[in-house]
Structure 1
């Protein structure tokens, strides 16, 4: 039974953003899968291009060892996404708005003035046999360095 785009996307988000589990994240890709973050400059802490499940596993494990900037984490109740299917059944697009609380407490989450911070991004998924064959992740590079 093939996984739906929603199942693939939610599994990817859970493995990466929620649990920061490089093994689970890598397993969501095909063995020859490609992860790309085209807007990230060369030499940044966050990987720009990874080829193959094992390279994804190693690079993301190294990245996840670093502490999260300012201790911030998304508020999943306020965040949201829309999945768009395409004419190609193996391609879908995720349009994401991630909200970081601006609750004014000392947890380091949100904006200093108490306003929520919304980060918008787009991901393009190409799938094969229920796994990610290629993911292009378009986001502001300053978010990960």
Structure 2
């Protein structure tokens, strides 16, 4: 049974943003899958282009290891997304507003990260993902 765009997107977000599980993230891709963050400058900490499941697994594991364990996760109650289907059954677009809570003492303001992701699917897995976000947000 083929997975829906909703199921594919939710699994991708859970593996990446929520649990930072590089193995689960890589398994969401086809063996020859491509992950791209086209707006990232060359040499940035966050990878700009990865080709193949094993490259995605290794690079994202290294990226997740660099993040601090107490890095805030997104506030799911405040965050939201809309999935847009296209004329191709193998392509969908995610329009996302992710909210990170302020500093927790009532004095900090929430941070909203808006991004767009374009998914190309093959056999229920991500064959290509283009992730468009402001590069300055990734450390």
Q: TM-score, normalised by structure 2?
A: 0.95
Q: Which moved more, 1:64-73 or 1:81-90?
A: 64-73
Match status 1:4 vs 2:4: yes
- The aligned counterpart of 2:81 is 81
Shift of the alpha carbon at 1:64?
Answer: 0.6
Give the Cα separation in 1 of the matches to 2:132 and 2:101.
22
Gaps of 5+ in 1: 106-111
Q: Which moved more, 1:17-26 or 1:71-80?
A: 71-80
Give the Cα separation in 2 of the matches to 1:24 and 1:93.
21
- Counterparts in 2 of 1:53-68, with a 5 A limit? 53-68=53-68
Decide which of 118, 138, 144 is 2:138's aligned counterpart: 144
Aligned length: 139
Decide which of 102, 115, 119 is 1:125's aligned counterpart: 119
Gaps of 5+ in 2: none
Q: Secondary structure at the match of 1:65?
A: helix
- The aligned counterpart of 1:52 is 52
RMSD across aligned positions (CA) = 1.6
Q: Which deviations, in whole Å up to 9, do the C-alpha atoms of 1:38-66 show, x marking residues without a partner? A: 00000000000000000000100110101
Q: TM-score, normalised by structure 1?
A: 0.91
- The aligned counterpart of 2:37 is 37
Q: Taking structure 1 as reference, are residues 113 and 142 closer, same or farther at Cα in structure 2, changes over 3 Å only? A: farther
Give the Cα separation in 1 of the matches to 2:14 and 2:104.
27
- The aligned counterpart of 1:116 is 110
Give the Cα separation in 2 of the matches to 1:7 and 1:121.
19
Match status 1:135 vs 2:129: yes
Give the Cα separation in 2 of the matches to 1:42 and 1:32.
22
